[in-house]
């Protein structure tokens, strides 16, 4: 079988398989470019099952370009809470505002215009152009690179930008006339459902017969991929500061800086513990006073005077590049030190919240879990 026929066989069989087996996903029920856009941004680095409930809530609250463009950023961040990579949400809203103003609310349909939008890279541009507008542009994500590297036995490192370019050229050639949207989704669907990263289900694959990796017994070896560096460890001490008086039943939360990790999200006040404190790292209820002092000093710099009371819990959280090992300590406010409950002002990036008031602030999952556990333990008593 020559090269052209092998490609034609692949495209035809794959497309036919997709039309018979495609999942009924919320964003496949519409060709609204705005909905396709939202789904594609949410699906970056994120599984379908995770995205579905977020997608429903998001389009219900922001049904149009105008609705999202005019929404407060905190509302958008709150609806993204738990989904991760929060710059996606801020970039999406920024880009939607641009579409609202510059394109009168119509998502552009040219490669140059759509690629200029914040948060829209080569994959997302291709996905929107092909799925919403049926333009013959490739949409190469991890699924597609895995499928193509196996079927065509491509042994280039898929982490290299050059490999993605190569895959895009190949993927574009494979698109049958007039079927770009379905064909691109077919490639991704095969990668998600059949040609999986581990233990691919080759026996049900519509193109198994001519899969080069399968013929070579290499399907588990591909794609070739350089290993990522392990996350660097960090120790942290967080304070659960219980309010009294007017703030009884509430705890103090803090907003993170405008830029960087978890930008503008809310958290428990906390501090990094230098590794020089290795011996003192508390792993249980026997928290060490010197670490309490560290936390007290750190918060004092932000004019928050606290008194550590007792150890509450341990939490671990892994980002792609950092691993947090965190001890959480129950604290009370120090009487007579700013800010007190007697009407002194908190810094603006601090707030008192109870379980109900938390609904107005977006938290990373790690702090959400701690706070929920804390309020649950309070209501039990």
Partner DNA sequence: AAAGCGGGGCA
Partner DNA sequence: TGCCCAGCTTT
In the three-class reduction of DSSP (H, G, I as helix; E, B as strand; rest coil), residue 289 is classed as helix
Restricted to residues 64-83, the positions that interact with DNA (CB under 7 A) are 82-83
Catalytic residue among 40, 137, 168, 189: 40
Q: What is the DSSP letter of 286?
A: -
Which residue from 377, 234, 371, 256 is spatially nearest to 316, judged by alpha carbons?
Answer: 234
Q: How far, rounded to the nearest angstrom, does the alpha carbon of residue 49 sit from its chain's CA centroid?
A: 13
**Alpha helices, DSSP H only, in the chain?**
3-21, 33-43, 48-61, 65-70, 73-80, 87-102, 111-115, 122-133, 142-151, 161-174, 180-193, 212-216, 289-300, 365-380
Which residues are 242's β-sheet partners?
Answer: 251, 332
Distance CA 287, CA 281 (A): 8
Tell me phi and psi for residue 349, to 5 degrees: -90, 15
* Binding test (CB under 7 A) with DNA, winner from 187, 262, 287, 304: 262
In the three-class reduction of DSSP (H, G, I as helix; E, B as strand; rest coil), residue 255 is classed as strand
* Binding test (CB under 7 A) with DNA, winner from 8, 64, 66, 91: 91
Of 199 and 379, the one with the shorter C-beta distance to DNA is: 199
- How crowded is residue 287: how many other Cβ atoms within 10 Å of its Cβ? 22
Total of chain residues touching DNA, rule CB under 7 A: 51
- Residue 104 Rama label (left phi>0; alpha psi -120 to 50; beta): left
Which residue from 226, 223, 204 is spatially nearest to 213, judged by alpha carbons?
Answer: 223
> Per-residue x/- marks for DNA, 196-235, CB under 7 A?
-xxx-------------------------x-xxx------
Largest interatomic CA distance in the chain: 84
- Residue 263 in contact with DNA, rule: CB under 7 A: yes
Catalytic site residue 40? Answer: yes
CB of 242 to DNA, least distance (A): 24
Stretch that binds DNA, among 7-15, 43-51, 172-180, 268-276 (CB under 7 A): 43-51
Write the DSSP assignment of 40-77 as a string of letters.
HHHHTTS-HHHHHHHHHHHHHHS-SHHHHHHS-HHHHH
Stretch that binds DNA, among 24-32, 45-53, 281-289, 302-310 (CB under 7 A): 45-53
Restricted to residues 171-200, the positions that interact with DNA (CB under 7 A) are 191, 197-199
Of 82 and 178, the one with the shorter C-beta distance to DNA is: 82
- Residue 108 in contact with DNA, rule: CB under 7 A: no
- Residue 130 in contact with DNA, rule: CB under 7 A: no
> Per-residue x/- marks for DNA, 311-350, CB under 7 A?
------xxxxxx----------------------------
Of 7 and 116, the one with the shorter C-beta distance to DNA is: 116
Cβ-count burial 18-37 (b if 16+ within 10 Å, e if not)? beeeeeeeebeeeebbbbbb
- Residue 366 Rama label (left phi>0; alpha psi -120 to 50; beta): alpha
Tell me phi and psi for residue 13, to 5 degrees: -65, -40
- Residue 146 in contact with DNA, rule: CB under 7 A: yes
> Per-residue x/- marks for DNA, 281-310, CB under 7 A?
------------------------------
Stretch that binds DNA, among 24-32, 40-48, 172-180, 272-280 (CB under 7 A): 40-48
In the three-class reduction of DSSP (H, G, I as helix; E, B as strand; rest coil), residue 320 is classed as coil
- Residue 142 in contact with DNA, rule: CB under 7 A: yes
Stretch that binds DNA, among 41-49, 68-76, 284-292, 332-340 (CB under 7 A): 41-49
Stretch that binds DNA, among 8-16, 123-131, 242-250, 332-340 (CB under 7 A): 123-131
- Residue 149 in contact with DNA, rule: CB under 7 A: no
What angle (nearest 5°) sits at the alpha carbon of residue 223, between those of residues 221 and 228? 100
Distance CA 341, CA 247 (A): 8
- Residue 258 in contact with DNA, rule: CB under 7 A: no
CB of 381 to DNA, least distance (A): 28
Of 101 and 209, the one with the shorter C-beta distance to DNA is: 101
* Binding test (CB under 7 A) with DNA, winner from 364, 370, 371, 375: 364
**Residues acting as catalytic residues:** 40
User: Which residues contribute to the site for DNA (CB under 7 A)?
Assistant: 44-47, 49-50, 82-87, 91, 118-125, 140-143, 145-146, 160-162, 191, 197-199, 225, 227-229, 260-263, 317-322, 364-366
């Amino acid at each position: 079988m020559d090269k052209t026929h092998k490609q034609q066989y692949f495209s035809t069989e794959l497309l036919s398989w997709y039309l018979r087996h495609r999942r009924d996903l919320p964003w496949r029920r519409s060709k609204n470019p705005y909905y396709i856009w939202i789904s594609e941004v949410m699906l970056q680095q994120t599984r379908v099952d995770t995205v579905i409930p977020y997608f429903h809530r998001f389009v219900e609250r922001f049904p149009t370009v105008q609705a999202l463009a005019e929404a407060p950023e905190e509302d958008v961040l709150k609806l993204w809470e738990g989904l991760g990579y929060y710059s996606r949400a801020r970039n999406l809203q920024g880009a939607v505002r641009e579409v609202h103003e510059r394109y009168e609310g119509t998502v552009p349909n040219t490669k140059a215009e759509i690629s200029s939008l914040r948060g829209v890279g080569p994959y997302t541009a291709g996905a929107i152009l092909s799925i919403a507008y049926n333009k013959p542009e490739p949409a190469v994500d991890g699924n597609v690179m895995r499928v193509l590297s196996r079927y065509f036995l491509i042994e280039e490192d898929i982490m290299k930008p050059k490999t993605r370019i190569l895959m895009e050229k190949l993927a574009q050639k494979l698109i049958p006339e007039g079927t770009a949207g379905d064909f691109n989704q077919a490639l991704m669907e095969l990668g998600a459902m059949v040609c999986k990263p581990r233990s691919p289900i080759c026996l049900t694959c519509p193109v198994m017969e001519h899969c080069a990796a399968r013929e070579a017994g290499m399907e588990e070896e591909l794609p070739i991929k350089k290993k990522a560096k392990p996350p660097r460890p960090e120790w942290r001490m967080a304070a659960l500061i219980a309010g009294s008086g007017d703030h009884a039943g509430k705890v103090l939360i803090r907003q993170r800086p405008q830029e960087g990790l978890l930008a503008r999200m809310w958290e428990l006040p906390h501090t990094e513990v230098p590794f020089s404190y290795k011996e003192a790292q508390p792993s249980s209820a026997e928290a060490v006073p010197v670490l309490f002092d560290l936390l007290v000093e750190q918060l004092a710099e932000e004019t928050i005077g606290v008194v550590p009371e007792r150890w509450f819990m341990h939490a671990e959280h892994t980002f792609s590049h950092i691993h947090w090992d965190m001890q959480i300590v129950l604290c009370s406010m120090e009487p007579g030190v700013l800010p007190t409950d007697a009407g002194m002002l908190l810094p603006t990036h601090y707030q008192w919240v109870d379980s109900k008031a938390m609904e107005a602030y977006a938290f990373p999952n790690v702090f959400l879990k701690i706070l929920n556990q804390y309020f649950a333990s309070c209501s039990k008593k």
